[in-house]
A and B are shown apart, each in its own frame.
Chain A
């Protein structure tokens, strides 16, 4: 057990954890930031995506010891009030069904658009490799990304 300093959504936290504890459980169980979801624990479904220095990263396979000097953004920190263009596009396109995996989809989309403001469908599909939605909202995710890139 050791102390780790994490900067999450612009707020500095010090947590006591095993070095190999995945960031997912540190966020959810130690900091009660439950918007980041558990799906598989092995990096195959992407329900646990967070942004680390603007990269979409699977927090279930990222140990806390590896992110102490990084800026971590979870869905709770993407915007304070749900007004990020991707969040707005998600509502306009009625993407969500159960909604459980959508925070990770929104963060994946935000990271993609930050790097590639006008992705093709194929580029979107590539960014969403092994990024699973059991409700089947895939067509609407593509639609919402195109809506967000067009300014909502």
Chain B
């Protein structure tokens, strides 16, 4: 890696700011591929263009102030996964910065940078580049000190924000070295990455950088942006996708106290007011008539029917077999993201430029779409996200704010209510899975089918075709005659990536049906998995650790059951053992033991947090679903789209299989195995198979 730095002479751009700080610009490769499987469709001006040869604009910034404060300008969005802390740790580690003097700022949208926060990829994609940048700046500072002291740089060592000359006891703070460092050239210094054995920050669970602001209410999410003269808006949108506006009563809305204007935007009618409450009241007074057109015949049942017909056609082509076989159907519904912070955006459109403050996972697409609407250069400022989970990859709410601000000539915050959020999401796709397995007279598996139907991702900015359905479609175990196939059944229902994406429903079908096969063959489900994995398969260690820590095979209290499930996603292997019981038709998940191999761990406690969060996200899918009737979403708020509560939270234990390979994805990994692990535990407890989520009380009654 060091040699690569030396060949790239423009790797660092060193300059001074007006305030006298050293500003080092470096480069994160625009061409670094995003995490596999989900490939966002971007306009050609955005992140998927090849990195140009030169000149390059730096897109990673490290600022060192004269007082020694080190500030990293972070390009990925913070939505609870801890990325601002974790990426800063990687840079600080190689820079040998004093962590107590490290600060983080959020980068605006920057062209030619892979700035999309998705696919559990922020650390996996940026780990090497951040280490190289940190190491290069450290080398400049060490050489600066050596020149001041007139000694060889090899005699000096960087240590916690200082350069130290051990022989003489001399030391200089980074802040005292910036003037000298500015005049050095990268090609004249020796850049060495640290030996990971010397890491003192990576691998520790330091408090998150944003925690002090969060616990005092100072943290600024999109909804908290306040500008002088800012107005507030709500938007009335068609209750069915694609519906047309027939008429509305703007006079009635404008008569509501605090309402300033009613304006048309591409998604519907916006009510602009002096405060959010007036905007909500004004919208309620619009009395809109919609023509819902052809979408008004759309229903969950009609979509389900299309998927059944598609899969049945494929089944009809199956050859007869002499094997002993079993079959089952697994199904999952549409799901809403329901981040606690609803979609929102502040736009300030002026004659010659536009500023946008937005909680987004996708600043570049917001910039492109907004610029197309306002026709002037657009700066996108990324706030903290009050949860994202994939919803905030979309640009719809950013476009709305820009249209409203342009129409009224003032800064405007568009606020989505919870009802807006639940009814106008880009949903996780509804899925339908046909499973079949067969074995010979000796009980050797020789046939496996997983035919899955669902729709692609059809968002405004984020679109993925059939390949999204293939995420995690393959069964993980060695089964001869395994044929996984996906079938696209597209509908007008808006869809988007939802934490775990299609890996979760596919794991539900595969891992539960594998449990069914194990039961039919009278095999222990854990032992049967191990039997069908090669000795060299690293998933074995993950399954074994989960089973061992969960005391697999030991007696449980009366009425309790254990279930095991596994998945590989974003190169991370994960296994869970859930313990559950059912009483009077009511499910209780008592405990979940998780083991995983995610490669190098940056922050051990964030691994645990992400697993806890993924388990909650997955368990929530046992409670809720989005359904459509006459084209309309039937749910609207937490009374009919419930989220998991504290009293329903199981105990969670997380164990990591140590592995020094590069760090891999984590943000979504807790989601795919939890539903099959719990479903298999339910079977173990009461002998009932769960083949559809959500689980209804009637599903749990014998």
Listed in ascending order, the chain A residues whose CB lies under 8 Å from chain B are 1, 17-18, 21-22, 25, 28-30, 32-42, 44-45, 47, 74-76, 78-79, 81-82, 87, 90-91, 94, 96-103, 106, 124-126, 128-142
Contact residue among B207, B342, B387, B644 (Cβ-Cβ distance under 8 Å from A91): B207
Q: Mark B625-651, 1 if CB is under 8 A from A, else 0.
A: 000000000000111000111110101
A138 pairs with B81, CB closer than 8 A: no
CA A106 – CA B80 in complex, angstroms? Answer: 17
Contacts of A74 in B (CB 8 A): 217
B647 pairs with A99, CB closer than 8 A: no
CB distance from B428 to the nearest CB of A (A): 14
Contact of A100 with B275 at beta-carbon distance under 8 Å, contacts A1-B257, A40-B638, A42-B418 already known: no
Q: Could you pull out 29 A-B pairs where Cβ atoms are within 8 angstroms?
A: A29-B274, A34-B223, A35-B217, A37-B221, A40-B418, A40-B638, A42-B418, A42-B638, A78-B216, A82-B215, A90-B215, A96-B208, A97-B613, A98-B78, A98-B79, A98-B341, A99-B384, A101-B340, A101-B386, A102-B214, A125-B646, A131-B645, A132-B638, A133-B616, A134-B389, A134-B616, A134-B643, A135-B616, A139-B649
Q: Which of B81, B384, B609 has the most CB of A within 10 A?
A: B609
B605 CB-CB contact with A under 8 Å? yes
B232 CB-CB contact with A under 8 Å? yes
How many chain B residues sit at the interface, stated as a range, is 35 or more
Main secondary structure, interface of A, reads loop
CA A120 – CA B49 in complex, angstroms? Answer: 56
Residues 180 to 225 of chain B near chain A (Cβ within 8 Å)? 205, 207-208, 210-212, 214-221, 223-224
A40 pairs with B637, CB closer than 8 A: yes
Contact of A76 with B216 at beta-carbon distance under 8 Å, contacts A94-B205, A98-B384 already known: yes
Residues 295 to 336 of chain B near chain A (Cβ within 8 Å)? none
A100 pairs with B649, CB closer than 8 A: no
Residue of B nearest to A84 (CB): B215
CA A109 – CA B207 in complex, angstroms? Answer: 21
Contacts of A40 in B (CB 8 A): 418, 637-638
Residue of A nearest to B619 (CB): A136
B567 CB-CB contact with A under 8 Å? no
Contact residue among B258, B277, B418, B609 (Cβ-Cβ distance under 8 Å from A97): B609
Main secondary structure, interface of B, reads loop
A42 pairs with B220, CB closer than 8 A: no
B41 CB-CB contact with A under 8 Å? no
B216 pairs with A82, CB closer than 8 A: yes
A134 pairs with B339, CB closer than 8 A: yes
CA A79 – CA B258 in complex, angstroms? Answer: 33
6 additional A-B pairs beyond A76-B218, A131-B646, beta carbons within 8 Å, are A37-B341, A37-B386, A98-B341, A101-B386, A134-B616, A139-B649
Contacts of A134 in B (CB 8 A): 338-340, 387, 389, 616-617, 643
A94 pairs with B207, CB closer than 8 A: yes
Contact of A39 with B208 at beta-carbon distance under 8 Å, contacts A28-B276, A99-B214, A141-B646 already known: no
CB distance from B520 to the nearest CB of A (A): 35
A82 pairs with B212, CB closer than 8 A: yes
Residue of B nearest to A92 (CB): B207
B276 pairs with A25, CB closer than 8 A: yes
Contacts of B224 in A (CB 8 A): 28, 34
Contact residue among A18, A32, A90 (Cβ-Cβ distance under 8 Å from B277): A18
B211 pairs with A90, CB closer than 8 A: yes
A128 pairs with B211, CB closer than 8 A: no
Residue of B nearest to A126 (CB): B647
B386 pairs with A96, CB closer than 8 A: no
Contacts of B389 in A (CB 8 A): 134
Closest 6 pairs between A and B when the two form their complex, measured CB to CB? A35-B217, A136-B616, A100-B386, A98-B80, A97-B80, A75-B217
